[in-house]
A and B are shown apart, each in its own frame.
Chain A
Amino acid sequence: DIQMTQSPASLSASLEEVVTITCKASQGIDDYLSWYQQKPGKSPQLLIYDATNLADGVPSRFSGSRSGTQFSLKIRRPQVDDSGIYYCLQSFSTPWTFGGGTKLEL
Protein backbone atom coordinates (compact mmCIF):
# COMPACT_ATOMS: atom_id res chain seq x y z
CA ASP A 1 0.00 0.00 0.00
CA ILE A 2 1.13 3.57 -0.63
CA GLN A 3 1.69 5.52 2.57
CA MET A 4 0.96 9.25 2.68
CA THR A 5 2.91 11.10 5.36
CA GLN A 6 1.31 14.46 6.07
CA SER A 7 2.83 17.27 8.11
CA PRO A 8 2.45 19.14 10.30
CA ALA A 9 -0.30 17.49 12.34
CA SER A 10 -1.47 20.89 13.48
CA LEU A 11 -0.56 24.53 13.11
CA SER A 12 -1.70 27.90 14.20
CA ALA A 13 -1.30 30.73 11.73
CA SER A 14 -1.96 34.42 11.43
CA LEU A 15 -3.96 36.06 8.69
CA GLU A 16 -0.84 37.55 7.09
CA GLU A 17 1.10 34.33 6.68
CA VAL A 18 1.54 31.74 3.99
CA VAL A 19 0.44 28.38 5.33
CA THR A 20 2.11 25.29 3.89
CA ILE A 21 0.97 21.70 4.41
CA THR A 22 2.89 18.83 2.87
CA CYS A 23 2.23 15.22 1.97
CA LYS A 24 4.97 12.79 1.02
CA ALA A 25 4.09 9.61 -0.83
CA SER A 26 6.01 6.41 -0.12
CA GLN A 27 6.34 5.82 -3.88
CA GLY A 28 5.59 7.63 -7.10
CA ILE A 29 1.96 8.60 -7.63
CA ASP A 30 2.29 10.92 -10.64
CA ASP A 31 -0.20 13.74 -10.09
CA TYR A 32 -2.92 11.56 -8.56
CA LEU A 33 -3.06 13.70 -5.46
CA SER A 34 -6.01 15.69 -4.21
CA TRP A 35 -6.56 17.91 -1.18
CA TYR A 36 -9.68 18.16 0.98
CA GLN A 37 -10.88 20.54 3.64
CA GLN A 38 -13.10 19.37 6.47
CA LYS A 39 -14.88 21.59 8.94
CA PRO A 40 -16.31 20.33 12.25
CA GLY A 41 -19.38 18.18 11.78
CA LYS A 42 -19.20 18.45 7.99
CA SER A 43 -18.20 16.20 5.13
CA PRO A 44 -14.83 16.81 3.47
CA GLN A 45 -14.78 19.08 0.42
CA LEU A 46 -12.45 18.90 -2.55
CA LEU A 47 -9.99 21.78 -2.82
CA ILE A 48 -7.36 20.69 -5.34
CA TYR A 49 -6.98 17.78 -7.75
CA ASP A 50 -4.21 16.66 -10.11
CA ALA A 51 -1.87 18.07 -7.45
CA THR A 52 -2.24 21.62 -8.75
CA ASN A 53 -5.75 22.23 -10.14
CA LEU A 54 -8.23 24.24 -8.10
CA ALA A 55 -11.68 22.70 -7.77
CA ASP A 56 -14.64 24.81 -8.84
CA GLY A 57 -15.40 27.63 -6.44
CA VAL A 58 -12.18 27.32 -4.43
CA PRO A 59 -10.57 30.71 -3.74
CA SER A 60 -7.33 31.51 -5.54
CA ARG A 61 -5.45 31.91 -2.24
CA PHE A 62 -5.26 28.11 -2.26
CA SER A 63 -2.63 26.46 -4.44
CA GLY A 64 -1.01 23.08 -4.85
CA SER A 65 2.40 21.98 -6.03
CA ARG A 66 4.47 18.86 -6.52
CA SER A 67 8.14 18.04 -6.31
CA GLY A 68 8.72 14.37 -7.01
CA THR A 69 6.77 12.46 -4.39
CA GLN A 70 6.28 15.49 -2.14
CA PHE A 71 3.13 17.54 -2.50
CA SER A 72 2.26 20.85 -0.91
CA LEU A 73 -0.88 22.82 -0.26
CA LYS A 74 -0.35 26.55 0.23
CA ILE A 75 -2.81 29.09 1.56
CA ARG A 76 -1.78 32.70 1.00
CA ARG A 77 -3.23 35.23 3.44
CA PRO A 78 -5.56 32.65 5.02
CA GLN A 79 -8.96 33.74 6.23
CA VAL A 80 -10.61 32.78 9.50
CA ASP A 81 -13.01 30.63 7.47
CA ASP A 82 -10.05 28.49 6.35
CA SER A 83 -9.82 26.93 9.82
CA GLY A 84 -10.41 23.21 9.69
CA ILE A 85 -8.64 19.96 8.97
CA TYR A 86 -6.91 19.33 5.66
CA TYR A 87 -6.25 15.93 4.12
CA CYS A 88 -4.38 14.71 1.10
CA LEU A 89 -5.50 11.64 -0.83
CA GLN A 90 -3.56 9.51 -3.30
CA SER A 91 -5.64 7.85 -6.00
CA PHE A 92 -2.78 6.48 -8.08
CA SER A 93 -3.46 2.91 -7.03
CA THR A 94 -5.84 1.00 -4.83
CA PRO A 95 -6.14 0.94 -1.95
CA TRP A 96 -6.42 4.72 -1.99
CA THR A 97 -4.87 6.29 1.09
CA PHE A 98 -5.34 9.55 2.95
CA GLY A 99 -2.72 11.50 4.80
CA GLY A 100 -3.16 11.77 8.53
CA GLY A 101 -4.61 15.28 8.39
CA THR A 102 -3.49 18.77 9.41
CA LYS A 103 -5.54 20.84 11.80
CA LEU A 104 -5.30 24.53 10.94
CA GLU A 105 -6.27 27.18 13.45
CA LEU A 106 -6.47 30.86 12.63
Chain B
Amino acid sequence: QVQMKETGPGLVQTTQTLSVACTVSGFSLSSYGVHWIRQAPGKGLDWLGVIWGDGNTNYNSALRSRLSISWDPSKSQVFLTMNSLHTDDTAVYYCAGNNSPRLWYVLDAWGQGASVTVSS
Protein backbone atom coordinates (compact mmCIF):
# COMPACT_ATOMS: atom_id res chain seq x y z
CA GLN B 1 0.00 0.00 0.00
CA VAL B 2 1.38 3.35 -1.06
CA GLN B 3 1.79 5.87 1.73
CA MET B 4 2.89 9.49 1.49
CA LYS B 5 3.73 12.05 4.14
CA GLU B 6 4.56 15.72 3.76
CA THR B 7 6.95 17.66 5.97
CA GLY B 8 7.02 21.43 5.80
CA PRO B 9 8.28 24.46 7.76
CA GLY B 10 4.88 25.62 9.01
CA LEU B 11 5.68 29.34 8.81
CA VAL B 12 7.76 31.18 6.23
CA GLN B 13 8.33 34.84 5.44
CA THR B 14 7.25 36.63 2.31
CA THR B 15 9.88 36.78 -0.44
CA GLN B 16 11.59 33.69 0.95
CA THR B 17 11.69 30.17 -0.47
CA LEU B 18 9.43 27.31 0.60
CA SER B 19 10.64 23.72 0.71
CA VAL B 20 8.30 20.84 1.42
CA ALA B 21 9.35 17.20 1.45
CA CYS B 22 7.20 14.19 0.61
CA THR B 23 8.39 10.85 1.99
CA VAL B 24 6.86 7.86 0.26
CA SER B 25 6.66 4.18 1.13
CA GLY B 26 5.24 1.13 -0.55
CA PHE B 27 6.65 1.88 -3.98
CA SER B 28 9.74 2.93 -5.84
CA LEU B 29 9.91 6.54 -7.05
CA SER B 30 11.29 5.27 -10.36
CA SER B 31 7.97 3.49 -11.02
CA TYR B 32 5.41 6.18 -10.25
CA GLY B 33 4.77 9.87 -10.60
CA VAL B 34 4.47 12.04 -7.51
CA HIS B 35 2.25 15.10 -7.75
CA TRP B 36 1.97 18.25 -5.67
CA ILE B 37 -1.39 19.92 -5.05
CA ARG B 38 -2.18 22.84 -2.80
CA GLN B 39 -5.33 24.22 -1.23
CA ALA B 40 -5.55 27.78 0.08
CA PRO B 41 -7.87 28.32 3.06
CA GLY B 42 -11.49 27.96 1.96
CA LYS B 43 -10.48 27.44 -1.66
CA GLY B 44 -10.31 24.59 -4.15
CA LEU B 45 -7.55 22.24 -5.20
CA ASP B 46 -4.72 23.61 -7.32
CA TRP B 47 -2.44 21.16 -9.17
CA LEU B 48 1.17 22.39 -8.89
CA GLY B 49 3.21 19.83 -10.74
CA VAL B 50 4.58 16.31 -11.00
CA ILE B 51 7.84 14.43 -11.13
CA TRP B 52 7.51 11.26 -13.16
CA GLY B 53 9.29 7.96 -12.63
CA ASP B 54 11.94 8.90 -15.19
CA GLY B 55 12.67 12.17 -13.38
CA ASN B 56 10.92 14.43 -15.89
CA THR B 57 8.74 17.19 -14.50
CA ASN B 58 5.67 19.19 -15.50
CA TYR B 59 4.36 22.32 -13.79
CA ASN B 60 1.35 24.55 -13.33
CA SER B 61 1.57 27.15 -16.08
CA ALA B 62 0.94 30.18 -13.85
CA LEU B 63 3.49 29.10 -11.20
CA ARG B 64 6.11 27.50 -13.43
CA SER B 65 8.68 30.27 -12.97
CA ARG B 66 8.59 29.90 -9.18
CA LEU B 67 8.37 26.13 -8.80
CA SER B 68 10.80 23.28 -8.79
CA ILE B 69 10.18 19.60 -8.06
CA SER B 70 13.10 17.30 -7.40
CA TRP B 71 13.71 13.96 -5.80
CA ASP B 72 16.13 11.74 -3.91
CA PRO B 73 15.13 8.15 -4.79
CA SER B 74 17.69 6.75 -2.35
CA LYS B 75 15.69 8.39 0.46
CA SER B 76 12.26 7.87 -1.14
CA GLN B 77 11.71 11.60 -1.00
CA VAL B 78 10.32 14.19 -3.37
CA PHE B 79 10.80 17.90 -2.81
CA LEU B 80 8.70 20.91 -3.75
CA THR B 81 10.48 24.26 -3.83
CA MET B 82 8.68 27.55 -4.41
CA ASN B 83 10.47 30.88 -4.38
CA SER B 84 9.41 34.54 -4.05
CA LEU B 85 6.63 33.67 -1.64
CA HIS B 86 3.52 35.86 -1.29
CA THR B 87 0.95 35.76 1.49
CA ASP B 88 -1.48 34.14 -0.94
CA ASP B 89 0.82 31.11 -1.10
CA THR B 90 -0.55 30.25 2.32
CA ALA B 91 -2.10 26.82 1.85
CA VAL B 92 -2.08 23.15 2.70
CA TYR B 93 0.42 21.44 0.40
CA TYR B 94 -0.34 17.83 -0.52
CA CYS B 95 1.71 15.23 -2.30
CA ALA B 96 -0.22 12.53 -4.09
CA GLY B 97 0.31 9.50 -6.28
CA ASN B 98 -1.26 6.20 -7.15
CA ASN B 99 -1.30 2.62 -5.94
CA SER B 100 -1.00 1.08 -9.39
CA PRO B 101 1.28 2.01 -12.29
CA ARG B 102 -1.59 1.04 -14.59
CA LEU B 103 -3.61 3.94 -13.17
CA TRP B 104 -0.84 6.51 -13.42
CA TYR B 105 -3.41 9.15 -14.38
CA VAL B 106 -5.41 9.10 -11.13
CA LEU B 107 -4.55 10.16 -7.61
CA ASP B 108 -5.61 7.46 -5.17
CA ALA B 109 -2.88 7.97 -2.59
CA TRP B 110 -2.62 11.27 -0.76
CA GLY B 111 -0.55 12.54 2.11
CA GLN B 112 -2.22 14.24 5.05
CA GLY B 113 -0.97 17.64 3.86
CA ALA B 114 1.50 20.17 5.23
CA SER B 115 0.03 23.47 6.37
CA VAL B 116 2.17 26.43 5.34
CA THR B 117 1.57 30.03 6.39
CA VAL B 118 3.37 32.82 4.57
CA SER B 119 3.64 35.91 6.71
CA SER B 120 5.23 39.29 6.29
Contact = CB atoms under 8 A, between A and B. Distances in A.
Pair from one complex = yes
Interface of A: 1, 32, 34, 36, 38, 43-46, 49, 55, 85, 87, 89, 91, 94-101
Contacts of A43: 94, 96, 110-113
Contact of A95 (B45, B47, B96, B111): B47
Nearest to B57: A94
Nearest to B35: A96
B88 interface: no
Contacts of B60: 95
B58 A46 contact: no
Interface of B: 35, 37, 44-47, 49-50, 58-61, 94, 96, 103, 105-108, 110-113
Contacts, number: 57
Contacts of A96: 35, 47, 50
A38 B61 CA distance: 25
Nearest to A98: B45
Given A97-B47, A98-B44, A91 B59 contact: no
B110 A95 contact: no
26 contacts: A1-B61, A34-B105, A36-B45, A36-B107, A38-B45, A43-B94, A43-B110, A43-B111, A43-B112, A44-B94, A44-B107, A44-B110, A46-B106, A46-B107, A49-B105, A85-B44, A89-B45, A89-B106, A89-B107, A91-B106, A94-B50, A95-B47, A95-B60, A97-B47, A98-B45, A98-B46
Given A85-B44, A95-B60, A96-B35, 17 more contacts: A1-B61, A34-B107, A43-B94, A43-B110, A46-B107, A49-B106, A49-B108, A87-B44, A87-B45, A89-B45, A89-B106, A89-B107, A91-B105, A94-B50, A95-B49, A96-B50, A101-B45
Contact of B47 (A32, A85, A98, A100): A98
